[in-house]
Structure 1
């Protein structure tokens, strides 16, 4: 009777490990980019919902509605609040959660808040532009003076 061995040789194990390592180096970056894209899409969707909410509230109430950073240091990425009114008589309508960890949300310099007027337009001399960055994901939102919200494009 012959001697029968079960299992793998060292050479077979090394080849299997090498193939696994090559596959992992191809899959991990693609998965990381896919996860970043999903987070960016989620953050952008929440931001667009909030901007549309603020605009529609201004139209419905017939009064200006503001969107500003919730944080005192004016960091747009740490959360936003939508409110109506001025000074101590501020009526907060909705609080928008912070963007994903590691993401940055900035607004064109010169703007400390966005104001939608009673007609749904933006009360400003120029269209504010919001920029969202998460890793390699970069998105821009332009708030047209007529109230239209343009993602990745300029106002026409």
Structure 2
């Protein structure tokens, strides 16, 4: 009796690999765009939550709370503000020694993304220091950007998409 061997031939395997390679080359760019959009929504949500946290802390504890670009934490454990929003956000209150007492730090964002914002503070009554908009651009792309706006009354809400980060 002759036994039959089952399996793939080399030609069948090569055709399968070629088809898989073609499908991957078509699908990967669209997945990257999908991932960028998700990252934009996720990161602007982190910014919005940090702003809401700052406002709630100001109201709850009856003090002025600031949100600025995070630079570093000094040797004494106090926060230092910077100018590069890419490094993250620092939420702080000024203590009796006039040092920036850290309430929350949002670690840096993706290195290929751009973040635009300006320092804002919330008074004990929840009113902000002025109207400002934070914009997050995944891969620096304006068309996939997300934003959150702080009104002069201290209200925080998602704003228009598609704003530039330059």
Q: TM-score, normalised by structure 2?
A: 0.73
Which consecutive unaligned segments of at least 5 residues does structure 1 have?
none
Question: Residues 19-69 of structure 1: CA distance to partner in whole angstroms, max 9, x if unpaired?
Answer: 222211222112222322332233222211111100001111222210011
Give RMSD over aligned pairs.
2.7
Matches within 5 A, 1:1-156: 12-71=12-71, 73-85=82-94, 88-107=98-117, 111=118, 113-124=119-130, 127-135=131-139, 136=141, 137-153=144-160
Question: Residues 72-102 of structure 1: CA distance to partner in whole angstroms, max 9, x if unpaired?
Answer: 5410120221111278333221222111232
More displaced stretch, 51-60 vs 137-146: 137-146
Distance 2:29 2:98 in 1: 49
* Offset of residue 120 of structure 1: 1.2
Which consecutive unaligned segments of at least 5 residues does structure 2 have?
72-80, 162-166
Distance 2:32 2:99 in 1: 45
Asked whether the equivalents of residues 43 and 100 of structure 1 are also in contact (C-alpha less than 8 Å), the reply is no
Asked whether the equivalents of residues 139 and 152 of structure 1 are also in contact (C-alpha less than 8 Å), the reply is yes
Asked whether the equivalents of residues 82 and 93 of structure 1 are also in contact (C-alpha less than 8 Å), the reply is yes
Asked whether the equivalents of residues 127 and 153 of structure 2 are also in contact (C-alpha less than 8 Å), the reply is yes
* Offset of residue 152 of structure 1: 2.7
In structure 2, relative to structure 1, the CA distance for the partners of 1:94 and 1:10 (3 Å cut) is: closer
